[in-house]
Amino acid sequence: MTTDLESEVKTQETQPRVDLAGDVCEIRDERIEGIIQANITRSERRAQLLDRTATATVWTLALIGLGILAFIIFVILYRGIAAALAPGFVFGKPQAMKEGGGIWPMVVSSFYLALLTIAIVVPLGVGAAVYMTEFAKEGRITRLVRFGADSLSTVPSVVFGIFGMVLFVIYFGLGYSLLAGALTLALLNMPTVMRTTEEATLAVPRSYREAAMGLGANRWETAKKIVLPSAMPGITTGIVLTMGRIVGESAAVIYTVGIFVRKAPTSPLQPAAPMAAHIWHTYTEGALVSDWMRVANGEAAFLLLVVLALNLAARMIARTYRKRLGMVN
């Protein structure tokens, strides 16, 4: 034994040092420590460099995106804001033959169409989404419905326009009308309303549902009294954003609603001319009046303001709701 120990002590001078303290045995080797230290420093430096480069890249990309958006808004407002805010423009009568026309019928058309579409698409979309999340068993049918909705949302709006023209305008004999347009836009926006509602209801904690059912509520009562109210901020945001998309939609509207009217529509069965479609019409065929440029730019600026206002409203509505539900303080 002693000889063994002695030989070990001798060899230790060239070998790693072994510290014995109680049960803990610690091996130290300065050479290995050095290499590890150097590696740590190097990888730290590399990580730092990578971190900085990545941060800079992401920031630059974000700024470019934001810059493009700001540029578009700036150009549209620069060219049109003066006309849009001029007296007698937004509330003025349109002119087909002479200068100085306003856009009031188009403004009415846009909002009329948006509200009509919402009235059709919200019951359908919200209903379908609530059915999917609260009632249906996950299976082939729910997968099929989701697949269908996802496929629909990738179809270009002009295709919906032509489909709407064939089905609603011609086959059902609705003619160019707000109703035909609203039905078409309802189809176009149904997937988004469904998806946003589904996301909002899925975000409602399972524990709320359990609590309600534990008190004896059935699925319908739970959906109506707990899930829908809790999901309301998300659903409302989705609806208002959809309104923005409807107001901004042109292709599907051109084929189903109309592009120019003299008077504001009063019935859903009348043709109308929502702003986006009218802008397109004025830019492509509006040369009959010499100030067509002014009308189109002014209308574009006003439309942009409307869409921005709707987006802002969506945020504010969601915030107020959350506050009322006590989700934020």
Can you tell me the distance from the alpha carbon of 176 to that of 290, in angstroms, rounded to the nearest whole number?
Answer: 28
Strands (E), 227-267: none
Residue 193 Cβ vs other proteins, minimum distance, rounded to whole Å? 23
**213 lies in the binding site for other proteins (CB under 8 A):** yes
Q: For residue 105, give the nearest of 329, 265, 224 by alpha carbon.
A: 265
Among the candidate windows 164-172, 209-217, 282-290, 304-312, which touches other proteins by CB under 8 A? 209-217
Residue 205 Cβ vs other proteins, minimum distance, rounded to whole Å? 7
Full DSSP string of 15-30: SPEEEEETTEEEEE-H
Can you tell me the distance from the alpha carbon of 138 to that of 149, in angstroms, rounded to the nearest whole number?
Answer: 16
Residue 132 Cβ vs other proteins, minimum distance, rounded to whole Å? 15
Q: Which two tokens stand for residue 149?
A: 């909705």
Compare residues 225 and 262 and give the one whose CB is closer to other proteins: 225
Compare residues 146 and 224 and give the one whose CB is closer to other proteins: 224
Exposed, middle or buried, 286 (CB in 10 Å: 0-12/13-18/19+)? Answer: buried
Q: Which two tokens stand for residue 282?
A: 């004025």
**212 lies in the binding site for other proteins (CB under 8 A):** yes
Compare residues 81 and 226 and give the one whose CB is closer to other proteins: 226
Compare residues 45 and 225 and give the one whose CB is closer to other proteins: 225
**221 lies in the binding site for other proteins (CB under 8 A):** yes
Can you tell me the distance from the alpha carbon of 132 to that of 109, in angstroms, rounded to the nearest whole number?
Answer: 34
CA–CA–CA angle 182, 186, 192 (5° rounding)? 145
Q: For residue 247, give the nearest of 305, 191, 162 by alpha carbon.
A: 305
**208 lies in the binding site for other proteins (CB under 8 A):** yes
Compare residues 197 and 250 and give the one whose CB is closer to other proteins: 197
Site for other proteins in 239-278 (CB under 8 A): none
Chosen residue from 37, 151, 218, 266 binding other proteins by CB under 8 A: 218
Among the candidate windows 170-178, 223-231, 264-272, 298-306, which touches other proteins by CB under 8 A? 223-231
Site for other proteins in 112-151 (CB under 8 A): 137-138
Q: Long-range contact list for 32-41, CB < 8 A, 24+ apart?
A: none
Compare residues 28 and 323 and give the one whose CB is closer to other proteins: 323
Residue 207 Cβ vs other proteins, minimum distance, rounded to whole Å? 4
**In the block, which residue shows the tokens 């629909």?**
152
Q: How far is CA 150 from the centre of its chain?
A: 15
Compare residues 87 and 326 and give the one whose CB is closer to other proteins: 326
- Residues at the interface with other proteins (CB under 8 A): 137-138, 205, 207-208, 210-218, 221, 225-226, 229-230, 325-327, 329
